[in-house]
A and B are shown apart, each in its own frame.
Chain A
Amino acid sequence: MSIAHPTVVNRPAARAFDLHRVRQDFPILTQLVHGKPLVYLDNSATTQKPLAVTESLERYYTTDNSNIHRGVHLLSQRATQAYEDARGIVRRFLNAANDREIVFVRGTTEAINLVAHSFGRGHVQAGDEVVLTHMEHHSNIVPWQFLCEEKGARLRVAPIDERGELIFDEFEKLLSPRTRMVAVTHVSNALGTINPVKRIIDAAHARGIPVLIDGAQAVAHLKVDVRALDCDFYAFSGHKIYGPTGIGALYGKERLLEEMPPYQGGGDMIKSVSFEKTIYNDLPHKFEAGTPHISGAIALGAALDYLTGVGLENAAAHEHDLLEYATESVSAIPGLRLIGTARQKASVLSFLVDGVHPHDVGTILDRQGIAVRTGHVCAQPVMDRYGIPAITRASFALYNTREEVDALVAGIRKAKEILG
């Protein structure tokens, strides 16, 4: 079992989880918003950053700032070391076999675009098919649409049921000799559904089809082991796992990355350049053209170390407790309908309030200091599946509390009072 399903994460924590101490690591949480204590429940959009991360950024710019992989001077050596150390942290976090399989990118979106562009163009031809699910984020739809349009290939979409679970049999039926790629989210950003990715990967591999997993919503909540999963690509963003924006990582099997052409050309991705011929650099540098987000990568390493220090399983167990408590609490509100009731869920509570538009719910909650996401949450096909224009989404992180869930419930009741 490579993924910590909720049934697994309930086992005794290795170290005690101290919520009060955790909250002290996030000074942003102590502020007032519209005169009320901030209740930050928009963690699926982006998480807040612990001091370990902000201090890492500051330390880099005040002591080590330099360009990497080229200077003979000490600062450049220190920056290069820290940047490559961060790669090692990401590799260990995902349990990849070696650092050559970890490519730093701007985020999940860039990672998927890289794979669609570099791997996809070499493998997908006219008449071929790419299989997705109905619960994908736009960033795991549009890059494949680009590819399909360019190649005359076809997107096939595996349906989801009313609970928001993938209908596995239907997914499996879509796998055909024409299928060249499967791209699936690990956790749905709109519904919270945890997909059975191991089963998906095994089914695809049984037919020789490579699989990309969009891990943007998963890495902060589930233990990911890319070797146990045997996925071909795994993408995630730093800012959804307590790291900075503008940095993320793509894991790719070395064999595949080796055969793929570079995504972008420029400095750092080359061994030698002449006007006649350019020799590309080794992995992973072949895919990191130009000066990267050095401080971001180092701070992402700090974020992963922070989460490991708290204990990913501790965080997951706490979030699961919050999700269960919140689900129970909001279900008591008359006229409230949950969107996304999969049996395996992570940290996301999406809902509709009868007679109150999500945009109004969002404004009314904001005035009570509660930050949630409203709208189509970058998953319009999910909205279409349920025949709704928008949702309100509360999403939990390791620093949220049961009191904050109570505030959310009171806020929803307020919205009903004003507009319902």
Chain B
Amino acid sequence: MSDLGELYQELIVDHSRRPRNFKAIQDATAKAEGFNPLCGDRVTVYLKMDGDVIREVSFEGSGCAISTASASLLTETLKGKTLAEAETIFDGFHKLVTGVAKGIGPEETKLGKLAVFKGVCDYPTRVKCATLVWHTLRSALKGDRQPASTE
């Protein structure tokens, strides 16, 4: 079952069981909802911006191990980052989980802990689970009123 181990890495399992920053931010400056109609995953992302900088980011919702861990690790990664940095990270993350970055070492991806999702690219049906929270974050930053969707 080694290939399943590539997907369900210890760090992912840990964050899915004990998601970090799993709460609402009462005085959030931005928030958005995301929904994956295929598997029923739902996530709400809360942001507290300070100009260009993400001061606080959290989430709530229900979903599979991949989407929950992805949301949890997103919040850990983006705290204190600028919008431009967040975009760059999302771009790198998207390439990682869709397999575009295959063969590139974890250091080069500059994704830090997020590199743990590299196994997702071998599971095409799970890419949407990993990216749902990122699409939702983008909606929050753009101020979209419609829920973000992976469809």
Give residues in A with beta carbon < 8 Å to B: 34, 355-360, 363-364, 367, 374-376, 383, 389-390, 414, 418-419
Contact = CB atoms under 8 A, between A and B. Distances in A.
B125 A367 contact: no
6 contacts: A356-B65, A359-B41, A359-B66, A363-B123, A375-B40, A389-B39
Most chain A CB within 10 A, of B40, B62, B66, is at B40
Given A357-B65, A363-B123, A363-B125, A383 B4 contact: no
B64 interface: yes
A191 B120 CA distance: 31
A419 B39 contact: no
A357 B63 CA distance: 7
B40 A360 contact: no
Interface string B121-141: 001011001000000000000
B38 A360 contact: no
B84 interface: no
Interface in B55-80: 62-66
A358 B129 CA distance: 13
A359 B38 CA distance: 10
Contact of B65 (A374, A383, A419): A419
B39 A367 contact: no
A375 B39 contact: yes
A418 B8 contact: yes
Contacts of A414: 1
Closest 6 CB pairs of A and B: A389-B40, A357-B64, A359-B64, A390-B40, A359-B39, A360-B65
B13 interface: yes
Contacts of B129: 359
A356 B126 CA distance: 15
A376 B35 CA distance: 13
A419 B8 contact: yes
A374 to B, nearest CB: 7
Given A357-B64, A359-B64, A419-B65, A364 B39 contact: no
A363 B40 contact: no
A364 B42 contact: no
Contacts of B42: 389
B47 interface: no
Given A357-B63, A389-B62, A364 B4 contact: yes
A386 B111 CA distance: 39
Given A357-B65, A363-B126, A389-B62, A376 B4 contact: no
B104 to A, nearest CB: 24
Contacts of B38: 375
Nearest to B40: A389
Contacts of A34: 3
Nearest to B38: A375
